[in-house]
Chain A
Amino acid sequence: MTSIDDSRIPGVQDPAVQIHAEAETPRGYGSMKRKEDARFVRGRGRYVDDVVLPGMLHGAVLRSPLAHARITAVDTSAAEAHPKVHAVITGETLAGLGLAWMPTLSNDTQAVLATDKVRFQGQEVAFVVADDKYAARDALDLIDVQYEPLDPVIDARRALEAGTPVVRDDKDGQADNHIFDWESGDSAATDRVFAEAEAAPDQRVVTADILYPRVHPAPLETCGAIADMDPVTGKLTLWTTTQAPHAHRTLYALVAGLPEHKIRVVSPDIGGGFGNKVGIYPGYVCAIVASIVTGKPVKWMEDRSENLMSTSFARDYHMRGEVAVTDEGTIRAVRVDVLADHGAFNATAQPTKFPAGFFGVFTGSYDLEAAHCAVTGVYTNKASGGVAYACSFRITEAVYLVERMVDVVAHDLGMDPAELRMRNLLRPDQFPYRSATGWEYDSGDYPHTLQVALEKAGYEALRAEQADRRRRHEAGERVRLMGIGLSFFTEAVGAGPRRSMDILGLGMADGADLRVHPTGKAVLGISAQSQGQGHETTFAQIVAQELGISPDDVEVVHGDTDLTPFGLGTYGSRSTPVSGAATAVVARKVRERARIVAATMLEVAPEDLEWHDGRWQVAGDPEASRSMAEIAMAAHSNLELPEGVEGHLDATCVYNPPNLTYPCGAYVCVVDVDPGTGAVDVRRFVAVDDCGVRINPMIVEGQIHGGLADGVGMALMQGIAFDLDGNCLGGSMMDYLLPTSLECPSWELGETVTPSPHHPIGAKGIGESATVGSPPAIVNAVIDALAPYGVRHADMPLTPAAVWCAAQGRPLRTDLAIT
């Protein structure tokens, strides 16, 4: 039907593209097709919006058209008179219940429904409950809100200037827009190295101002909830789009005063999260209140614009990076100053002690003498949030900063960026490595990983081709300019050790429980919540590997707090590092129980058995062994077990990670840039990832593919800018662009494997590596292409206009409206 040129579609007719699934289900690790896909590809997934309850009503949120305005009156009488409307809830209604404000994940407060004033365009003002969503939407137009406009605070760089309006005048003692100051590293030691570098004739300080613009995770499924408060039992069931069902349950109990055992949070199939579904949104709270008020289930699903304009954004870091470096290219120290735009409420989701997330990992993959960063958070009249979009708690910003700075250094020194990186990368013998900001990197062989990527890319040949293109360009020939960009990233994922990491006081350990039925089939309960990561397959494979059974014989239960053990959920690439470890540990507990039963069956002592090929076997006697199925049946039978052994094999555990895991990767991006139009074409992308042991390599590759596409989006087209009136300029998918297959090359993946020494199965998180690592590689490639124009830096998104303007020597400011 269509005449699309197939060669533009990656993967079509490309012999390099292979599907790595094995024909037979592996008995443990290995590529296998995802178990959950059977229902997804048949349209049998069940998302929140698919849930329909008898008598269910529908809610809609009235939102502020203005970024900053005082509310002088709200008249809901006409809406209440609508024949299909059951209730209209306002800030005043909630204030009467003590629920007009709620705590954020950063110990700030956030308006559920505005009472005093609105603080960003799209803020929640009222909630209508009606028979159907059409009537609810119609009734929104019947609510009359009187606003008295106030000057908005939009330009974060001016938020702290004297005389600027105060966004949060609701807070006692808040006289300006300052939220926090936070620093990391040794300031004095860093300043000393910089002073030396400035004074020494053969050293220098390289500086650049770098913006990581505001972006949005934009999951395919928007956020929503169905609240069902049973007026008889007093039990609240909340179907909701959450990446952290257990944490949400506890927070509802703490905030609303509901007894926690009377709250059941169900997170069914989730259509993408990327961090967007970590926090609790006003709409969820309104749905709960509406169900209590009406005595009926109430569904609320936001639309696309509501999602983009009001839920957790990501990034918005205005950074100044400085590098002290010798003229030979030895990087001595890095210093960073950050202005962090947190919007109207400080609702950043991150461990309590880390107001700038894990930005402290900005020292990257390099051996530095000293490093220091200072981060200042400010309020503006924009939507709140701050950590979302697959960022590993701000490591996205940290990696972008350091990898962009390394390229700026290479530019200023006239050095090859690959050579400069190779010269400064940590060596394998330095692990475990304690960074200048106090992070303990667990393992890696960075030079090897970079070398694999350079060879896979054919780096030397690419540079030769680039030189030829540049010669032809300089000769006046109309050719596209070629750019080659590198990044080498270190991630820190798997939050985290309870002693140092919690969210609102909840330590970040995860539980797991494993039941083995009499016939040897197993049911694993976990707290991690898949949003598409393939947990039902990966975690079954972990159990299968430990117990010698097929992954097909393991059912993974998740997303229902009444059915699963407590844990903090899925974000920050923590599922495999934490819940995956819990799964391995609980499976090993089961295996040890099985050993006792097997010993009884075989009439030997447990110590005489060895685990061999998925069976407990008498040492040295392959004929005398028992499978897990045989043992499970015996464990449930009337076989007489040793004293103190109760029977059955079931076990539970809680895993408290001793450290984060530190995956790494080396990425090479090749772009072609049309100097006449500024259009960028990503020609190739080589991604060599090291995430330790790969449980299901095909799922790992899928995760990387997604993250690389995200990177193309952020680097080249995505951004949520605001005009000076505070209008959000990225409020629909016509304005906020997601990349398509036409913008993505056929990804070229490679791997190195350095197991994590402290993780039970040596695995590291992979969920966000590519999102973290790809934007700097792409931007570095575009800037490299523009070298003939003397371009040293330009901010994302590198749209054709941004590229052309950078080449003209007047780069665009991408956080504000283009004028």
Chain B
Amino acid sequence: MQVPAQFAYAKAGSVDEAIALLRRHGPDALVVAGGHSLIPMMKLRLAEPTALIDINGLSELTGVAVQGDEVRLGAMVRHGEVLDSPVVREHFPILADAERLIADPIVRNRGTVGGSLCQADPSEDLSAAFSALRASVVIRSADGERVVPVREFHHGPYETAVAHGELLLEVRVPIRAATGSAYQKIERRAGDWAVASAGAVVTLDGDTVVDVGIGLTAVGAPHFVAPEAEDALRGGPATDDAFAAAARVAAEHCSPSADQRGPVDYKRHLVGELVTRTLQRATARARGEA
């Protein structure tokens, strides 16, 4: 019977109060944002928090805005807001691509950017997209704030740099010129977890790839990235052959597991296919062609 175990509930009125509540309720208290991962886990009793600290009312954590040469997304920005944001669409089509493929409208109306990152599910799409974008996150504790690159944020499945008593406040994504990005996912059905996904961010100088970010999800890539493939491509020509070669490197270096979504060789093949395709699309976008 899918009903949660008993837990206490407290609604935070501010970020500072949320942090204080977390400390007061002890190490088994959890923050609830959109709740679309946590609540099902509680009903299945895979998670049994002693208390839920609800941060849904915190206006400090909302909003998508350009600040200087970066875009800041509050931790409580809903997936649907990311998808609808003109700022996101202008600067980071990779996020719009990914959000379009995350779950369904009902989940997207409720699920949050910060919740997705902190859940640290190995199949999470935004983790790969933000890693490809070389975003960073701001984490606050009672002692103050710190900034952590997304590529150092994930410590493993369901584990992140956010310690108990800390709260993720926002994601900062650098805006780069002459850059395009794209994200693709193969799923068995709309809203299913990815069989494999890839995201690419390509910065061009003429026909040279001056910088590149490649994100992967659901295929056991540490920190959701393919650094070897990025190295293979960086500084080289933006050609289909180069993309295919980089994609082969990405496929070789990830470590997918077999499950009902597919065997290992298929998932590796998909990584190659999707990395190639997203590099092509990102490049076309960088050139203003798509």
Chain A residues within CB distance 8 Å of chain B:
1-4, 60-61, 133-134, 136-138, 140, 301-306, 676-679, 716-717, 719, 721, 729-730, 732, 734-735, 737, 739-740, 742-743, 799-801, 804-805, 812, 817-819
Contact = CB atoms under 8 A, between A and B. Distances in A.
Contacts of A676: 273, 277
13 contacts: A3-B84, A302-B1, A304-B2, A676-B277, A678-B186, A735-B260, A737-B192, A740-B191, A799-B260, A801-B195, A817-B258, A817-B259, A818-B259
A743 B189 contact: yes
A734 B189 CA distance: 10
A799 B6 contact: no
B269 interface: yes
A643 B108 CA distance: 74
A5 to B, nearest CB: 8
B272 to A, nearest CB: 9
A719 B6 CA distance: 34
A729 B1 CA distance: 18
Contacts of A732: 44
B109 A819 contact: no
Contacts of B84: 1-3
Contact of B1 (A136, A818, A819): A136
Given A3-B96, A134-B6, A732-B44, 14 more contacts: A2-B83, A2-B84, A60-B1, A61-B1, A140-B1, A679-B186, A716-B189, A740-B190, A799-B261, A804-B262, A804-B266, A812-B263, A817-B259, A819-B263
B92 interface: no
A303 B105 CA distance: 24
B81 to A, nearest CB: 9
A588 B189 CA distance: 50
Interface string B158-185: 0000000000000000000000000000
A353 B272 CA distance: 55
A71 to B, nearest CB: 21
A241 to B, nearest CB: 16
A730 B259 CA distance: 12
B3 A805 contact: no
A799 B262 CA distance: 8
Nearest to A740: B190
B273 A737 contact: no
A2 B79 CA distance: 10
Contacts of B190: 740, 742-743
A737 B105 contact: no
Nearest to A4: B105
B5 A2 contact: no
Range for the number of chain B residues in contact with chain A: 35 or more
B113 to A, nearest CB: 16
Nearest to A301: B1
Most chain A CB neighbours (cut-off 10 Å) among B2, B80, B108, B258: B2
A742 to B, nearest CB: 4
Contact of A800 (B2, B109, B262): B262
A739 B104 CA distance: 13
- A61, A133, A676, A817: most-surrounded residue (chain B CB, <10 A): A676
B155 interface: no
Nearest to A817: B260
Nearest to A5: B100
B270 interface: yes
A305 B190 CA distance: 21
A302 B266 CA distance: 36
B130 interface: no
Contacts of A302: 1
A304 B3 CA distance: 12
Contact of B261 (A305, A677, A740, A801): A801
Interface string B255-290: 000111111001001100110010000000000000
B108 A737 contact: no
A734 B44 CA distance: 13
A719 B259 CA distance: 13
A676 B274 CA distance: 9
Interface in B126-177: none
A208 to B, nearest CB: 23
Given A304-B2, A740-B104, A800 B259 contact: no
Nearest to A304: B2
Nearest to A61: B1
A650 to B, nearest CB: 46
B243 interface: no
Given A1-B80, A4-B100, A677 B260 contact: no
A801 B188 CA distance: 9
A134 B3 contact: yes
Given A137-B1, A801-B266, A805-B263, A677 B186 contact: yes
Nearest to A136: B1
A817 B260 CA distance: 7
Contacts of A677: 186, 270, 273-274
Contacts of B104: 740
Contacts of A805: 262-263, 266
B146 to A, nearest CB: 34
Nearest to B2: A303
A136 to B, nearest CB: 7
B193 interface: yes
Contacts of B277: 676
A734 B260 CA distance: 11
B5 A138 contact: yes
A819 B260 CA distance: 9
Nearest to A741: B190
B70 to A, nearest CB: 23
B109 A1 contact: yes
A717 B190 CA distance: 11
B100 A3 contact: yes
A533 to B, nearest CB: 26
Contacts of B195: 799-801
Question: Of residues A60, A732, A737, A801, which shows the largest number of chain B Cβ atoms within 10 Å of its Cβ?
Answer: A801
Nearest to A8: B190
Interface in B69-106: 80, 83-84, 96, 100, 104-105
B25 to A, nearest CB: 20
Contacts of A301: 1
B100 A305 contact: no
B4 to A, nearest CB: 8
A3 B263 contact: no
B273 A2 contact: no
Minimum-distance CB pairs A-B, first 8: A801-B262, A742-B190, A303-B2, A2-B105, A737-B189, A60-B1, A137-B1, A676-B273
A401 B3 CA distance: 42
Contacts of A678: 186, 266
Contacts of B188: 716-717, 737, 799-800
Contacts of B189: 716-717, 737, 739-740, 742-743
Interface string B184-216: 001011111101000000000000000000000
B108 A2 contact: yes
A737 B84 CA distance: 28
Given A134-B3, A740-B189, A2 B263 contact: no
A576 B8 CA distance: 53
B280 to A, nearest CB: 10
Contacts of B186: 677-679, 800
B141 to A, nearest CB: 33
Nearest to B263: A818
A734 B274 CA distance: 23
B91 to A, nearest CB: 16
Interface in B243-263: 258-263
Contacts of A133: 1, 3
A776 to B, nearest CB: 20
A740 B191 CA distance: 9
B3 A818 contact: no
Contact of B260 (A1, A303, A739, A818): A818
Contacts of A801: 195, 261-263, 266
A243 B103 CA distance: 33
Contacts of B105: 1-2, 4
